Amino acid sequence: MNIIFDIDDTLIRSGAFDGGCFIAAVRDVHGDVSVRSDWNSYTHVTDQGLIEQIAIENGLTDARVEDVKARYVARIDAHLAQVSEDGMAVPGAQAMLQAVQPAHRVALATGGWRDVQKIKLAKAGIATDLPMFASDGIAPRAAIMAACHAAIGDPEMDTLYVGDGEWDMRACKELEWHFIGIGTRLKGRCERWIEDFTGSDFLGHLASIDRR
């Protein structure tokens, strides 16, 4: 099976600080622009999609993506320098990634920008040698996921995506992939759900998909 993982709040716990750093980075570059409080209200909930739509809605002629990205990296770096890595990884994530290889093709497909995600993964102690497909230059989440699949996936195999957001479920429905939801946001909202990667729930869901 092809198994593709989201990163934020799927492998690492970053929701508490990530959005604030992103918004601050946008305002570092563009001033006091309007940013919606609900990410799910944006068309594409990816770093690229957010900055492009924020620019349009605020009448900006240039999104200055690379400038925003540089400020975002700096703010994430500054935040992580002040916190411990303890508890940043989703429980069981590193062991699970090792357990599913090499029996499955495994990769990461994230709505974040690559440089930012690499910093967060390193701080959390999550191995970063897996193929990673990010939103640099790509706004739609399903397009990022499809690019990942095209590079690492076997089209004859089923594909499973693991993610924490409504946007992940929508992309999987569009791509006709299996989906496992993780974390509090999706509890009770999807057919297969896990709190984290401890215990046997994830491997049990994986086995049920393999038997189909």
How does pLDDT run across 17-69, given as a tens digit for each residue? 999 999 999 999 999 999 999 999 999 999 999 999 999 999 999 999 999 99
pLDDT tens-digit map of 91-103 = 999 999 999 998 9
pTM: 0.96
Q: Residue 40's closest CA among 32, 50, 30, 27?
A: 50
Give the chain's radius of gyration (CA, Å): 17
Q: Residue 10's closest CA among 173, 194, 191, 140?
A: 194
CB contact at 8 A, 171 and 44:
no
Q: Which residues contact 52 (CB under 8 A, 6 or more apart)?
A: 44, 63, 65, 139
Residue-range domain boundaries for the chain? 2-13+87-210, 15-80
pLDDT tens-digit map of 140-199 = 999 999 999 999 988 888 999 999 999 999 999 999 999 999 999 999 999 999 999 999
The CB density around residue 204, as the number of other CB atoms within 10 Å, is: 11
DSSP label of 98: H
What superfamily does domain 2-13+87-210 belong to in CATH? HAD superfamily/HAD-like (3.40.50.1000)
